[in-house]
């Protein structure tokens, strides 16, 4: 099954008090927090060996694209997974995705071989992998609260916390110790709309002094850890980490 979205996505970095103010305001407008069963989201980004795609993206071109595998749920208890192709042109985000099992995706994507059921998205993903020689490059994980309204369906707002990164052990079904991306007390809010904000939302943002930010989770991981060479773990360190995780440390 394929799904597609076209929308404008604007991001804000908020403190806990600012996020609480926003959530109170959303609740007052009839918005409710979606119940996913588990707030954990993981995205495995695919890139070239020298990170060509993210380097190009950080230059903020008029057009950019990315390929990722997104999974919902804690490692070992994944509830949904999707192959996603995300493109941005002149400020509008176009996202297309196809659902498939995590095992099929993790085995098929690196080989450029996906089930026929993934349709055009799967075929395009395979082309991207083969054309750019893409490989698993970075795992971005976070906990997400998503708010929506039955009466204002053109507005969706998410709050992400506990953002973290790794570029080793890229199996999304395995527990791993990640590196932090933002401070624990910060929240990344993302407002997804058709392009314009309703007046009440603009006033909420004004009330907390929210400032728009250009923010890429993978981009921050690249700048903070990959580019300076701080990301990789030595083989013996990785083995020790796996042992400690298996013991519940």
- pTM more than 0.75: yes
| pLDDT mean over 72-83 | 93
Answer whether 165's CB lies under 8 Å from 140's CB.
yes
Q: Which of 188, 135, 141 is nearest to 166 (CA)?
A: 141
| pLDDT mean over 178-202 | 95
The domain spanning residue 27 has which CATH number?
3.20.100.30
The alpha carbon of 217 is separated from its chain's Cα centroid by a whole number of angstroms, namely: 7
Which domain does 116 fall in, by range?
2-246
Q: Which residue has the higher pLDDT, 245 or 52?
A: 52
Answer whether 162's CB lies under 8 Å from 42's CB.
no
Q: Which residues touch 94 (CB under 8 Å, ≥6 apart)?
A: 4, 5, 6, 86, 87, 88
pLDDT bracket for residue 48 (50, 70, 90) = very high
Q: Which of 146, 219, 154 is nearest to 7 (CA)?
A: 154
Q: How many domains, the chain?
A: 1
Map tokens 């002094």 to a residue.
209
Answer whether 84's CB lies under 8 Å from 248's CB.
no
What sign has the CA pseudo-torsion 35, 195, 219, 204? negative
Count CB atoms within 10 A of the CB of residue 27.
12
Alpha helices in 82-191 (DSSP H): 102-111, 119-132
Examine the pLDDT at 247 and tell me if it is beyond 50: no
Tens digits of residue pLDDT in 137-169: 999 999 999 999 999 989 999 999 999 999 999
**Structure-block tokens of residue 54:** 């993210």
Judged by DSSP in three states, 110 sits in helix
Category of 133 on φ-ψ map: left (φ > 0), alpha (ψ -120 to 50) or beta: left
Examine the pLDDT at 79 and tell me if it is beyond 80: yes
C-alpha 118/C-alpha 32 separation (Å) is 31
């Amino acid at each position: 099954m394929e799904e597609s979205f076209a929308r404008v996505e604007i991001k804000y970095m908020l403190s806990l008090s600012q996020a609480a103010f926003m959530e109170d305001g959303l609740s007052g407008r009839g918005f409710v927090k979606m119940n996913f069963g588990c707030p954990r989201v993981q995205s495995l980004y695919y890139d070239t060996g020298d990170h060509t795609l993210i380097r190009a993206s950080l230059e903020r071109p008029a057009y950019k694209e990315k390929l990722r595998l997104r999974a919902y749920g804690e490692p070992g208890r994944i509830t949904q997974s999707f192959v996603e192709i995300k493109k941005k042109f002149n400020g509008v985000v176009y996202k297309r995705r196809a659902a498939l099992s995590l095992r099929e995706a993790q085995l098929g994507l690196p080989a450029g071989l996906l089930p026929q059921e993934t349709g055009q998205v799967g075929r395009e993903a395979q082309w991207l992998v083969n054309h750019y020689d893409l490989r698993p490059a970075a795992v971005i994980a976070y906990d997400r609260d998503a708010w929506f309204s039955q009466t204002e369906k053109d507005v969706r707002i998410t709050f992400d916390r506990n953002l973290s990164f790794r570029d080793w052990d890229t199996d999304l079904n395995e527990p791993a110790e990640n590196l932090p991306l933002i401070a624990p007390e910060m929240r990344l809010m993302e407002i997804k709309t058709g392009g314009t904000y309703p007046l009440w939302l603009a006033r909420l943002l004004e009330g907390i002094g929210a400032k728009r930010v250009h923010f890429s989770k993978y981009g921050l991981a690249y700048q903070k850890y990959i580019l300076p060479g701080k990301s990789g773990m030595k083989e013996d360190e990785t083995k020790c980490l796996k042992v400690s995780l298996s013991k519940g440390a």
